Chains A and B, each alone.
Chain A
Amino acid sequence: ESQLVESGGGLVKPGGSLRLSCAASGFTFSNAWMSWVRQAPGKGLEWVGRIKRESDGGTADYAAPVKGRFTISRDDSKNTLYLQMNSLEAEDTALYYCCSGNSGLGDAFDVWGQGTRVTVSS
């Protein structure tokens, strides 16, 4: 069974940093384009960014609100995805989901983690 498990969330002060991790199992992680999606309390889903598989260049793209502050990386030897978040703002408070895009499904996200909560507050 395909599974994603996020970790690393917590309470951080404005301007601080946090690194989230996402451990994958049950599918070929190295073949997947991986994404982060967040959901602020009571709000909708917001795409944060994604990283392509190495064979497609391994590059990352980001949503405008996080570009320059967040960095997505992956370690295929550990089947793990990361989200480094710097210069955090109150608006970054959200539940952060790790998702796997399936190229056979038009890059739709067919596997989701349970989410890890990030709270930015002084």
Chain B
Amino acid sequence: DIQMTQSPSTLSASVGDTVTITCRASQSISGLLAWYQQKQGKAPKLLIFKASSLKSGVPSRFSGSGSGTEFTLTISSLQPDDFATYYCQQFGGTFGQGTKVETK
């Protein structure tokens, strides 16, 4: 089974900061990686698919990159609405353990 490892598990940041979350796969998953945002008490929401494609309606401050086994999610100019937990997922399967973005 493919394992997904996210880092950091918690990230403290301020509004306006640029933050980066890393996701590493235990074996190559080509570009079949997705990123989700989850807020407390809500279902996750898809942000990025195929590693770097932004889902329609998602703000352009979110971006994804990477291939093979190393991937990143970057949020440029963090907004108040972005404080949440973020998960990576490989090819409709295993999730990373999550990264909570909290207020510094």
Chain A residues near B (Cβ < 8 Å): 33, 35, 37, 44-47, 50, 63-64, 97, 101-102, 105-110, 112-115
Pairs across A and B, CB under 8 Å, 15 listed: A37-B95, A44-B96, A45-B38, A47-B89, A47-B95, A105-B34, A105-B53, A106-B49, A106-B50, A106-B53, A106-B92, A109-B34, A109-B46, A109-B92, A114-B43
Further contacts, 4 of them, CB under 8 A, given A106-B50, A107-B32: A45-B95, A63-B1, A108-B89, A112-B45
B94 at the interface (CB under 8 A from A): yes
Chain A residues lying within 8 Å of B93, measured Cβ to Cβ, are: 47, 50
For the complex, give the distance between the alpha carbons of A110 and B85 in Å.
17
Q: When the two chains form their complex, are residues A108 and B43 in contact, meaning their CB atoms are under 8 A apart?
A: no
Asked if A113 meets B43 with Cβ closer than 8 Å, knowing A105-B53, A106-B31, the reply is yes
Give the residue name and chain of the A residue nearest to B30 (CB): A106
B80 interfacial by beta-carbon distance below 8 Å: no
Give residues in B with beta carbon < 8 Å to A: 1, 31-34, 36, 38, 43-46, 49-50, 53, 55, 85, 87, 89, 91-98
Complex Cα–Cα for A112 and B49 (A): 15
Closest to A106 in B: B50
Given A44-B98, A45-B95, A64-B1, A105:B89 Cβ within 8 A: no
- Chain A residues within 8 Å of B34, by CB: 105-106, 108-109
Could you say which residues of chain A place their CB within 8 Å of the CB of B96?
Answer: 44
Return the contact of B87 from the options A44, A50, A112, A114 (Cβ within 8 A): A44
CA distance A50 to B32 in the complex (A): 16
Known: A35-B92, A105-B55. A45 touches B98 (CB 8 A): yes
Contact of A105 among B43, B45, B50, B85 (CB under 8 A): B50
Bound-complex Cα distance A76 to B19 (A): 42
Bound complex: CA A47 to CA B91 (Å) = 11
- A109 partner residues in chain B, CB cutoff 8 A: 34, 36, 44, 46, 89, 92
Q: Which residues of A contact B97 (CB under 8 A)?
A: 44
